[in-house]
Amino acid sequence: MLGCVIGDIVGSIYEFANIKSKDFQFFGNGVEYTDDSILAIATADWILNCGDVASYYAKYTELYPDPMGGYGTSFKVWAIRYARTGYAEAYNSCGNGSAMRICPVGWTFDDIEDVLKYSKLSAECTHNHPEGIKGAQATAASILLARQGASKKEIESFVTKRFGYDLSMSVQELQKRYSWQGIDGEGNGALCQESVPQAMICALQATDFEDAVRNAISIGGDSDTIGCIAGGIAEALYGIPQNVYDKGLSYLPNDLKNLILKFEKKYGCNIIAGQ
């Protein structure tokens, strides 16, 4: 599952300073893990130890209160309320936070219906808008299909038919037309429906893991989250070179690193040895 964390780390310095190029230092100066990685690891902890998924998101937000980039305002209010009272209502969000944290679900289950079920559980405690749930489900389903050897065309076909996402644009076209304001400045790149399909395009049109993350950063918008989603899918599709894997892991504190290693020992990962 480290692929999503690496995508987040690489994109962290470009979230509010977009670049429209694939020509950049992969682990650039000042990169860090953000809330995307923290909440993806919270999902892994939930899977390993069971219980109420909302409690894990609230706990990790309390343990790591000020990550680079910060938590979304509505999510932070939700997490504080949950930590204080043991309950907080979902707030009908369709933001891409539901998709950025879902990668571990795609690695855990081998049946598509289980992946969809647990993706919904992860999303709906906060992001209970249909598009918020859809974004999580589409991301995790793509990881499952890639793990099981589906071709990129098969993944694209499944996502298009099941979730209605348009994956027809090229990365080169997105570089010209996409931003925080969506396609041609007419949307909102923080929403699932306007960032998850773009992240998928970046993964599916890549040649390898690093190329997928570079694609994701190069289109602009919510760079760390698009990198996180694309990186999670790309790990399952292509594998992570060992040297990139080791470098990505080195940015994490020991408790988060150990949780990932424990999760991957049980549920697997895709590392290309010797690179």
Query: Quick one: pLDDT at residue 275?
Result: 59
What is the four-CA torsion angle of 157, 213, 4, 58, rounded to 10 degrees? -110
Per-residue pLDDT reduced to its tens digit, 92-148: 999 999 999 999 999 999 999 999 999 999 999 999 999 999 999 999 999 999 999
Structure tokens at 136: 């999580």
Structure tokens at 174: 């997105």
Query: Quick one: pLDDT at residue 69?
Result: 92
Structure tokens at 20: 């429209």
Per-residue pLDDT reduced to its tens digit, 229-262: 999 999 999 999 999 999 999 999 999 999 999 9
- Main-chain phi, psi angles of 182, to 5 degrees: 75, -160
- What is the chain's mean pLDDT, rounded? 97
Contact 145, 155 (CB under 8 A): yes
Report CA 169 to chain centroid distance, whole Å.
20
* CB-neighbour burial class of residue 17 (10 A; exposed 0-12, middle 13-18, buried 19+): exposed
Beta strands 182-183 and 240-241 are unpaired
Please state, for a pLDDT cut of 70, what percent of the chain lies above it.
Answer: 100
Q: Is the pLDDT of residue 75 over 90?
A: yes
Question: pLDDT band at residue 202, thresholds of 50, 70 and 90?
Answer: very high
Output 274 or 165, whichever has higher pLDDT. 165
Angle at 82 between CA 80 and CA 87, to 5 degrees: 155
Q: What is the model's pTM?
A: 0.98
Question: pLDDT band at residue 14, thresholds of 50, 70 and 90?
Answer: very high
Q: Is the pLDDT of residue 274 over 90?
A: no
Structure tokens at 175: 């570089």
